[in-house]
Structure 1
Amino acid sequence: MLLSVGQSLSSVLGWISIACWIVVYSPQLYENYSLESGEGVSVLFVLIWLAGDILNLAGALLAGLLPTIIILAGYYTTCDLLLLAQIYYYRWKHSRIGGQRGEPQEQTPLIAGDAADDRHTTTPVRVIVLRYTCALLFVIAVGIGAWWLSEGANELGSKEPPETRNSWLVQFFGWSSAALFLGARIPQILKNCKTRCEGLSPALFFFSILGNTTYALSICAKSMDKQYLLTNAGWLAGSGLTVFLDIFVLCQFIYYRRTEDERRME
């Protein structure tokens, strides 16, 4: 009975994690589109994240995971490429406009300016809380709905590699992707110190935290057996440890928003 409950809980959490990762890129892609700039995102952050997703995809293929999981890994890689394409497209666009006008590129609005400042200061905190609460409830509802529709296929909601395919190469891909996902946050954190988080969507990291947390919990809910946890240690590390860095990024958002509001009041 307890085993059945654990399997179901693992599957539900896994599906919620997948729902988070499906929508995680959308806020930043929209942010770049609305600002016509991708300068709020560190290129090195996306490149390292892309390398981690490629290794994750390779590990999924090598481990023989379910086709759905392989498709998702390919989806993550595609979204990384879309983010890079946006960044370089808007750089090319602004460089071309600046060249035609004979003006320095810095004069072309990118992520700073009155419009961006007004947008942040005119959004009440209660509205932000409401948005994120609705987003949280949405991904949870989608995850539970997906689990209900796929009841009887518990493995679909979990991305961990099968124990029967636990080769050293699969483990290498797992630990390497974990190291890359951790390292990717560092250049973004440093960039935030310069840009004060302008042009960066906090929803990207909100969904990342939720997705990584539910994914790690889905592994633990399935089994707390020592050998099972060791088998999935790379994936647990990649999910669990990045949560702390993503929380740090959200703290940067809060800090810079507060200092900007204080500066305007003065």
Structure 2
Amino acid sequence: MLVDNGDFSNMLGWISIACWIVVYSPQIYENYSLQSGEGLSVLFVIVWLFGDLCNLFGALLANLLPTVIIIALYYSICDIILMFQIYYYRWKRGRSAGVDEETPLLTGNTSQNSQTPVSAAVLILRYTGAVLFVFATGILAWWINSKTEKTEEHPKHPPTAAVQWIIQILGWTSAVSYLSARVPQIAKNLRTRCEGLSPALFYFAILGNVTYSWSIIAKSTDRDYLITNASWLAGSALTVFLDLIVLGQFFYYRPPRMV
């Protein structure tokens, strides 16, 4: 093999980071171009942020891979940006404080965007190019990191039993939050027909979660190690299923843009 399990795990971790760096950008830009964040469910973002914070603190306590901690921190920052956009654009449009989050997206920009269909060939080229770019960026970041830091220090003193319990509670709370967050978004899509929502958010979330889970498994298949990281694996792997449902809603509700 050209790389051992540790190097392969780190490489997948960096690819996952690249996926998550890309994943939020289309939605943030979509909100900016529409001058609205109403395509997102507020509850979706709030629960997602809560899960990310639990993930971050749990990863820090467990001394997980640096890539895992970086991802968790980045998640939290982007969640806050999305929340800011939602309420900033509501305030900018002069909405009253009691406006419901399910208010349909009714802006001139929205109708203009919806009248611009994209062919399947163009979509395939766009997403294929984006995937290649993300993977190349992740591999390059891993290579640079491997050249600048060859050794990975392990904690001299393992976490106490009490800390391990806290880690597990935070981890499973994070996993449940990730799963729960998708439900209000899926429900909102039934009413808004995915208007104002970027499919790339969920497309790259799937890639990020797959490579993220794979990076944990690639590092070690030891039973105790997998049990310790089971919540992170469950939170990432199971959300892939719900994200596929959201992508299915895009194909169902927006055929002119997806065909």
Change (3 A) 1:248 1:94: same
Change (3 A) 1:139 1:49: same
Q: 1:110: Cα distance to partner?
A: 6.7
Q: 1:91: Cα distance to partner?
A: 1.1
Unaligned runs of 5+ in 2: 97-102
Deviations 1:59-113 (A, max 9, x none): 133234566654543332121111011111111122269xxxxxxx989617753
SS of residue matched to 1:7: helix
Q: Equivalents in 2 of 1:80, 1:192: separation in Å?
A: 19
Give TM-score scaled by structure 2 length.
0.85
Q: What does residue range 137-216 of structure 1 map to in structure 2 within 5 Å?
A: 137-151=132-146, 153=149, 164-165=158-159, 167-216=164-213
Q: 1:17: Cα distance to partner?
A: 0.5
Q: Equivalents in 2 of 1:208, 1:15: separation in Å?
A: 14
Deviations 1:158-210 (A, max 9, x none): xxx99933711111111110100110000000001111111000000011000
Give the match for residue 15 of structure 2: 16
Residue 35 in structure 1 maps to residue 34 in structure 2: yes
Q: Which runs of 4+ in 1 moved over 3 A?
A: 64-72, 105-108, 152-156, 161-166
Q: 1:7: Cα distance to partner?
A: 2.0
Amino acid at match of 1:205: F
Give the match for residue 100 of structure 2: none
Give the match for residue 99 of structure 2: none
Q: Equivalents in 2 of 1:10, 1:168: separation in Å?
A: 25
Change (3 A) 1:155 1:77: farther
Name which of structure 1's ranges 163-172 and 179-188 shifts more when overlaid on structure 2.
163-172
Q: Equivalents in 2 of 1:232, 1:124: separation in Å?
A: 41
Deviations 1:219-253 (A, max 9, x none): 11122222221111001001100001111111110
Q: What does residue range 1-266 of structure 1 map to in structure 2 within 5 Å?
A: 5-65=4-64, 70-95=69-94, 109=107, 112-113=110-111, 115-119=112-116, 121=117, 123-151=118-146, 153=149, 164-165=158-159, 167-258=164-255
Change (3 A) 1:34 1:219: same
Q: Equivalents in 1 of 2:73, 2:23: separation in Å?
A: 15
Q: Which has the higher helix share?
A: 1
Q: Equivalents in 2 of 1:71, 1:212: separation in Å?
A: 14
Unaligned runs of 5+ in 1: 98-104, 262-266
CA RMSD in angstroms comes to: 2.9
Kindly indicate whether the alpha-carbon contact (under 8 Å) linking 2:202 and 2:247 is maintained by their aligned counterparts in 1.
yes
Change (3 A) 1:96 1:186: closer
Change (3 A) 1:143 1:162: farther
Q: Percent identity?
A: 58
What is the number of residues matched between the two proteins? 246
Change (3 A) 1:69 1:215: closer
